[in-house]
Amino acid sequence: MIERFFNRFTLLQSLVMMIAFSLLLPIPLLLGAYVHSTFKNKQEDFVIVSTKKFELSSEIFTEALWNFYPELAQTIVNQMSLDKSFASVTLKDSHGSVFLSYDKVKKDDELFHLEKNLQRNDIFVGTVQMAFRKEGLLESLLSDLFLFGSLVFLQIILISLVISSFYYLKIIKPIRRLVSDSEKLAKKELDTEFVWSGKDEINTLGRALDKTRIALKELFERLISQNEFLDERVKQRTRELEEASRYKSEFLANMSHEIRTPMNAIVGMCHLVNKTKLNEAQSNYILKIKDASAVLLRIINDILDFSKIEAGKLSLEHIAFDMHKEIKKSISIFSILAKEKNIDLSAEYIETNRFYRGDPYRIVQ
């Protein structure tokens, strides 16, 4: 939950929040201590100031009673009424009669009362009772608290700005540079040098990243050079293979005539000999030689037709043929060799189809 909350903020925002929280946390304690000490001092100052006002006005009230001069007393009251803390005054003569009264006390006022007997030349002339409001004390305290809070708030802003600026310059900005340099590495932009001249840990990491850039650049250069070398080797090897294939084709083309000529001669001689007067056995031998020569000539034609084999275009015939006849032809070719080794080579046929469509020459092979 907490981790998810902080993941919403950047490093700089998180730092500012931490600074503000750290500075705001002790403020209630500071305010409490300030209020405790200041309020007590202000109470003492309030008592001292109010007492001085009371003593000063008492002397004037004494003269007013002694000389029976109510206008003087009223003038003093009018002047004191300008003071917000002044609440009331009651002036009585020596007989207890009210000489002057002023009362502006409100219902919720918290008052500080003073009373004194007035004398002139050791002669009792009357009494004075005076009350002062304590709300001025609270207003002064609140004003001081507002000033104190404003100063603390400004101090928090100033400290946050200073620390945030330092944090941005020393951490955030270098980290963004690291991210930018890393993206350049990912894009294989290896020609631009990563300049890191500071002595802190992030600059050390930046210099290590620049070393990685140099190593990758050298590696890619070696790979490119090796690929070019391999490409040249492949091209050279391809040329050699093409040249060898050309030599092979030329050789087969040259040998084609040399091989086919004697084979055609054998087939032709068998055909001519077969027209002479031969007995049955001789005719059979000549026929077998002719058939075997024809098969061999077909094989030689396929071998020599190497271009068709390489191109995968070796075709098959699709003609009607007698399967029994082709098998007999194959048996007859090897029957003489089998007979010399006392091997009885023969073929038996079951009652099944003997006529097919296909390539009889491949069957004989």
DSSP assignment of 5-28: HHTTS-HHHHHHHHHHHHHHTTHH
Q: Strand, helix or coil at 216?
A: helix
Instruction: Round the CA-based radius of gyration of the chain to a whole number and report it.
Output: 64
Q: Which pLDDT value is given to residue 230?
A: 92
Tens of pLDDT, residues 320-346: 988 888 888 778 777 777 777 888 888
What is the arithmetic mean of pLDDT over 161-190?
A: 83
Confidence of residue 354 (pLDDT cuts 50, 70, 90): confident
Q: CATH 3.40.50: does it fit domain 2-165?
A: no
Strands (E), the chain: 86-93, 98-103, 111-120, 123-133, 319-322, 355-358
Regarding beta strands 123-133 and 111-120, do their DSSP bridges make them parallel or antiparallel, or are they unpaired?
A: antiparallel
> What is the side-by-side strand order in the sheet with 123-133?
98-103, 86-93, 123-133, 111-120
Q: Which pLDDT value is given to residue 40?
A: 73
What is the arithmetic mean of pLDDT over 161-170?
A: 81
Position 112 pLDDT exceeds 80: yes
Q: Which pLDDT value is given to residue 117?
A: 92
| 319: Cβ contacts below 8 Å, ≥ 6 apart | 357, 358, 359, 360
- Residue 323 · residue 293 · CB < 8 Å: no
Q: Which tokens sit at 218?
A: 């050298």
Residue 185 or 234, more confident: 234
By the 10 Å C-beta count (0-12 exposed, 13-18 middle, 19+ buried), 210 is classed as: middle
Q: Which pLDDT value is given to residue 306?
A: 59
Q: Identify which of 113, 55, 58 has the alpha carbon closest to the alpha carbon of residue 85.
A: 113
Position 307 pLDDT exceeds 60: no
What is the arithmetic mean of pLDDT over 60-68?
A: 87
Task: Quote the pTM value.
Answer: 0.41
Cα separation, 136 vs 130, whole angstroms: 16
Confidence of residue 129 (pLDDT cuts 50, 70, 90): very high
Q: Which pLDDT value is given to residue 143?
A: 75
| 329: Cβ contacts below 8 Å, ≥ 6 apart | 291, 364
Of all residues in the chain, what percent carry a pLDDT higher than 90?
A: 10
Residue 3 or 341, more confident: 341
Domain extents in the chain: 2-165, 249-364
What is the arithmetic mean of pLDDT over 302-316?
A: 63
CA quadruple 137, 143, 149, 155: dihedral sign: negative
